[in-house]
Amino acid sequence: MAAIEGLFETQRRAPALIFGIPSRDDETVHAAIRLPGMLSLLAFGNLDAEVKGLKDFPKDEWPPLTLTFYPFHLMVALGIYFIVLTTYGMFLLWKKKLFENRLFLKLALWSIPLPFIVNELGWVSAEVGRQPWIVYHLLKTRDAVSITVSAGQILFSIIMFVLIYSLLFAAWIFLLRREISKGPEETTPASWKEALA
């Protein structure tokens, strides 16, 4: 939590960071924009709850700050974008102008890959954020190395995963392009307006 929010000092009414540039070297967040008490509220459901800062942990147990902080905040920013885009789309639908608004339609089209990116950002933030632990306070990553599986077997597994996911990604792109190139189903303006009424 402290690494995700760039919280260096333990504090009550801990703020949530809207924007900032955390620095591991000088243990501060530059250009910070904070919401007072929101981190305490989000973490514990209490504005006055105490949230431990990074300085309360040994420095060798800190996760990589950059790869924890930025993916999480980018994920949150994209989540807010999805809410705004959806609300805008619902407003246009209510006004019966959804299918005439080229800006919204283009934004919706270009937003198709964003949920996949958000999923990966969350995964990176979670996996990097738990370092150096595999199991918190029980097993560190460096101690979890297998002594029965060779480096060659691990490399083979990684290559196979990359190949399989690359093929799945290529198939997805192919099918997506095929559907987009077909275009929307033919409808008359009267038929979709009647469906919305």
Q: Which residue has the higher pLDDT, 138 or 183?
A: 138
What is the Cβ-side half-sphere exposure of residue 24, based on CA atoms within 13 angstroms? Answer: 13
- Reported as a single tens digit per residue, the pLDDT across 55-67 is 888 888 889 988 9
Do residues 15 and 41 touch, judged by C-beta distance below 8 A?
A: no
Do residues 43 and 1 touch, judged by C-beta distance below 8 A?
A: yes
- Reported as a single tens digit per residue, the pLDDT across 2-55 is 888 888 888 888 888 888 888 888 888 888 888 888 888 888 888 888 889 888
Beta strands in 115-182 (DSSP E): 133-135, 139-140
CB count within 10 Å of CB 120 equals 12
With a cut of 80, say whether residue 188 has pLDDT above it. Answer: no
The helix/strand/coil state of 30 is strand
Could you tell me the two tokens for 170? 């290529």
Task: Name the β-bridge partners of 22.
Answer: 29
